Structure 1
Amino acid sequence: MSESPRIALVIPARFGSSRLPGKPLADLLGKPMVQWVYEKALQVPSASVVVVATDDQRIVDAVQTFGGQVVLTSSHHPSGTDRLVEVMGQVHADIYINLQGDEPLVRSEDVEQLAQGMLADPSVDVGTLYHAIDDGEAQNPNAVKVVLGQAGNALYFSRSPIPYPREGGKHPGFKKHVGVYAYRKRILEQYAQLPATALEQTEQLEQLRLLAAGLRIRAFEVAPTGPGVDTPECLEKVRALLEGKSYTPVSPLANVRLLITDVDGVLTDGGIYYDATGECLKRFHVRDGLGMRLLEESGIRVAVLSGRDSPTLRKRVADLGINLCAFGVKNKEAACIELMQEAGVTAEQTACIGDDSIDLPAFAACGLSYAVADAPGYVKQHATGVLKLAGGQGALRELADAILLAHGKEDVFSSAEGFHSVSSGAAQ
């Protein structure tokens, strides 16, 4: 009788993180986060060995303290898969399952399902997981979507909402990719030689390199998963869930002290009209104007930033009493920084709203960025959030209301008494 394939569960745990440095060692109810993942991995029945792969001695020390097995790897790996390839040289197995070190709520039964799926079909090169999501979550570029063939193999992964719902009644629903992978040893041996592709670089998704090479990625469905830990807010949410407590997230908009808005395609519907004298005419939405004034009257500055300059635009801005503005701008990133300095705020206290590629430099300069609903997908991909309304159709007002709500000032737009408190400076 042949011996059962040996399965290694490898937990990449990188110390460096731009949003949450030292993330694997973050305390969760008295234990470092990586220990939670390690203990869940030990509960997977098919696992022959569980090992943490890290680039930092501090994590090595922490894992050894709680009795775990750990491997110190290079700090120059561009991805968790590259780190896994190095581990393969030290830990023998036939199948390697890559768990995320920032997923303390991972379910051992999901990992076991993945392992059993790989054992059941030796023709599958790589295995992964997915679950269904609603249309709203599908719009989030941080939620990677997957489209499957009839056999359950991945056809494509994308940050965009795929498949495109041209006819809603015929849509099969969106599927969110869960970033847990199972690789056969022979695939990992090939991985380092596979060239990076334009698709991988465009989407920033390493699994597209595997698909481009013709490898088969089988996806197994699981129940919706708990949140991972990417930011301090995520950490607080996971901590509350582990304690069995309800969690009320603090909106990042609560820190906003300045909103920078584009004009064409945001405050207007993108149309440009000329009268008989050659004067440029644009249609603004009155609710956006009131939203701008409500923010200003509530102590939140509003700045208008435009690559164009015209008497029409200046008249509209003057009518609204907005005195923080920049017209005829060629470098929107530099202009945003200057507006922040003038307002006395930091990038983390600034949000911007845009609709097209010309606004991407502004997105890069500001802590938060929002794309209008009719912005191109490649613009939405770079935004913190995507609004429900289109440019010129009340999109800025939608964001203004959200900012006021996050600041606890919902009454200024939702009640007569609250509106009266700021109405002296209100204008549409």
Structure 2
Amino acid sequence: MTFESKEKQVLPLAVNSLGQPTVVIVIPARYGSTRLPGKPLADIAGKSMVQHVYERACEVQGVHAVVVATDDERVATAVHDFGGRSVMTSAEHPSGTDRLAEVMAQLPADIYVNLQGDEPLVRPGDVQRLVDGMLADAAVSVGTLCHPIDSQEAQSPNTVKLVVADNGDALYFSRSPIPYPRDKEHVSYLKHVGVYAYRREVLQTYAQLPQPMAEKAEKLEQLRLLAAGLRIRAFEVEPTGPGVDTLECLEQVRALMMGTISAFEQKQPSLADVRLVIPDVDGVLTDGGLFYDATGEALKRFHVRDGLGMRLLEESGVRVAVLSGRDSPVLRKRVADLGLSFCLLGVKDKAAACQALMQQAGVTAAQTACLGDDSIDLPAFAVCGLSYAVPDAPQYVRAAATATLSTPGGYGAFRELADAILSAQGQEDVVASASGYSRLMSQMAQ
């Protein structure tokens, strides 16, 4: 069966006057999506999804053609109606790369960019970075994109991770979190963004490449290219917006493009992001009771497990800053014993104090969690990305917090949160195993 473009012909592309390779962006757009049938034609802010992708692709400089590759006349007609260019392809292709190889037979070029048709939030600048990178280094056979993610997202098998060499070449792709933090040290993760650029000769030989064991196990076709010794250069970009896989994803993208939700609302702060924890003292690190000695000095009862939780966080790369509306020699002695370098004591404006501590620690509000128990802590709740109340706090304080802990102040409330943070950041063995604890803590104060 012969497939023809919607325009009935495909015009040859000419190399420009500077002799640079010709570049074509191909947008695969299958109508029969299993989870969201008719996905390319889904309306988003008055345009079909495929039109949004097409228009963004047209903003990329140095590209000689943009074409939608589809297996359905309804998509081809829609593309034609908004003035775009389409190519009909077979519905039997096992992968997107195979579909691209069919387009190559109809549309000759030197470099083909595979831009998914379900990414209406794609940034033209990211695709530009990919195209420019391929044009700059003829030794790169395949190019793709990646961006940093937190350890929580790295745990999902639906998120493909990669490890790169110093020059940006991909060493491996996996659904598992890579690299594996054997010693539970802080590691950084990169997420693979499924935008590819191929040189023509790669597509010509792809179908003949054997399918390696790794590809069969991971269900990742790019591993076939690595196994064949081809270089895949990964260009790092800023975190990308969500694609459209399900109806829920579609509604989220619609809301983002219509401006009814912000990027902050799209991804709320999480414990996996926390880099600074700010606890109140009275009622959180203590039970709130005050005892006076014969000299009139106020004595406080601290819990040893809270102290250990602080050291565990500090040694794991999460800073702890004690904040209190009171000041006393006893409190200063406790802070010194714990080896904490951040503290503000005797403050009344806790919002300003939290912001000062964030600046001092070099973190954002989204990376900060605070703990409180009374009205004086509400301003801190308002400026920190995450806030936690102890269970015996007044109802209105608990209502203002992100969540309420189960452990009362003075009885290990801080340790409960510290354990939750370590778990969210993939370091639960620090508190749950002898080997993990021994590895991290050689000296400590409790």
- State whether TM-score is above 0.5: yes
Q: Is 1:213 aligned to 2:228, yes or no?
A: yes
Give me the whole-angstrom Cα distance separating, in 1, the residues matched to 2:26 and 2:51. 13
Q: For each residue in 1:25-45, what CA deviation from the matched residue of structure 2 results, as whole angstroms up to 9, or x when unmatched?
A: 111011110000000000001
1:203-237 alpha-carbon deviations (Å, 9 max, x no partner): 11110110011100000000000000000000000
Partner of 1:52 in structure 2?
Answer: 68
- 1:15 corresponds in structure 2 to 31
CA drift at 1:82: 0.7
1:107 aligned to which of 123, 127, 131: 123
The reply on whether 1:140 has 2:162 as its aligned counterpart is: no
Q: AA paired with 1:226?
A: G
> Aligned partners of 2:27, 2:211: CA distance in 1, in Å?
23
Corresponding position of 1:157:
173
Q: Tell me what 2:209 maps to.
A: 194
**What is the match of residue 369 of structure 1?**
none
In 2: Cα distance, 1:29 partner to 1:244 partner: 10
Q: Deviations over 1:274-296 (max 9, x none)?
A: xxxxxxxxxxxxxxxxxxxxxxx
Which structure 2 residues correspond to residues 61-210 of structure 1 after superposition, within 5 A? Answer: 61-169=77-185, 171=187, 173-210=188-225
Counterpart for residue 225 of structure 1: 240
Runs (4+) off by over 4 Å: none
Name the residue aligned to 1:24. 40
**Map 1:377-416 → 2, pairs under 5 A:** none
Residue 169 (structure 1) shift: 3.0
Q: Please name the residue that 1:289 is paired with.
A: none
**Matches of 1:167 and 1:63 in 2, distance apart?**
52
- Counterpart Cα distance in 1 of 2:209 and 2:161: 23
Give deviations 1:358-388, integer Å, cap 9, x for gaps.
xxxxxxxxxxxxxxxxxxxxxxxxxxxxxxx
**1:168 aligned counterpart, secondary structure:** coil
CA distances 1:70-97 after superposition (whole Å, capped 9, x unpaired): 0000000011111100000111211000
**Shift of the alpha carbon at 1:195?**
1.6
Root mean square deviation, CA, Å: 1.8
Query: Is the counterpart of residue 236 in structure 1 residue 251 in structure 2?
Result: yes
Give, in whole Å, the separation in 1 of the partners of 2:206 and 2:18.
Answer: 27
Q: Give the distance between the partners of 1:148 and 1:197, measured in 2 at CA.
A: 20
Distance in 1 separating the partners of 2:18 and 2:48: 39
Cα distance, 1:196 vs. partner? 1.6
Taking every aligned residue pair, what percent have the same amino acid on both sides?
63
Instruction: Return the letter of the residue paired with 1:167.
Output: D
2-structure distance, mates of 1:187, 1:18: 29
Distance (Å, rounded) in 1 between the aligned partners of 2:215 and 2:202? 18
Amino acid at match of 1:241: L
AA aligned opposite 2:225: L
Deviation string 1:318-341 (CA, Å, 9 cap, x unpaired) is xxxxxxxxxxxxxxxxxxxxxxxx
Q: What residue ranges of structure 2 are gaps of 5+ in the alignment? A: 1-16, 267-402, 408-446
1:377 is aligned to none
> Highest Rg: 1 or 2?
2
TM-score scaled by length of structure 1: 0.57
- CA shift, 1:167, in A, is 2.4
C-alpha distance in structure 1 between counterparts of 2:184 and 2:144, whole Å: 27
User: C-alpha deviations, 1:257-311, integer Å up to 9, x for none?
Assistant: xxxxxxxxxxxxxxxxxxxxxxxxxxxxxxxxxxxxxxxxxxxxxxxxxxxxxxx
Letter of the aligned partner of 1:134 in structure 2?
Answer: D
Give the AA of the match of 1:4: Q
Distance (whole Å) between structure 2 residues aligned to residue 223 and residue 150 of structure 1: 19
Distance 1:170 1:243 in 2: 38
**Residue in structure 1 matched with residue 400 of structure 2 by the alignment:** none
Q: Normalising by structure 2, what TM-score? A: 0.55
- Structure 2 partner of 1:325: none
Distance in 2 (CA, whole Å) between partners of 1:160 and 1:78 is 23
Specify every segment of 5 or more residues in structure 1 that has no aligned partner in the other structure, as ranges.
250-409, 415-428
Alignment of 1:263-278 (within 5 A): none
Deviates more, 1:195-204 or 1:56-65: 195-204
Q: Distance between the aligned counterparts of 1:25 and 1:142, measured in 2?
A: 25
Residue identity in the other structure for 1:79: S
Q: Tell me, in whole angstroms, the C-alpha distance in 2 between the residues paired with 1:159 and 1:176.
A: 10
Cα distance in structure 1, aligned partners of 2:222 and 2:115: 15
Matched pairs, number: 252
**Counterpart of 1:89 in 2: which secondary structure?**
helix
Quote the Cα distance in structure 2 between the aligned partners of 1:97 and 1:45. Answer: 13
Structure 1 position 17, deviation (Å): 1.3
What is the CA deviation profile of residues 138-181 of structure 1, one whole-angstrom value per residue up to 9, with x for unaligned ones? 0011110000111110010000000001123352x000000000
Map Cα deviations across residues 107-141 of structure 1 (whole Å, 9 max, x no partner): 00000100010011000000000000000000011
Would you say 1:3 and 2:14 are equivalent positions?
A: no
Per-residue deviation at 1:2? 5.0
Mapping for residues 331-342 of structure 1, pairs under 5 Å: none
1:119 is aligned with what amino acid?
L
Structure 2 residue identity aligned to 1:136: Q
Q: In the alignment, what sits opposite 1:404?
A: none
* Aligned-partner residue type, residue 52 of structure 1: V
Q: Which residue of 1 aligns with 2:357?
A: none
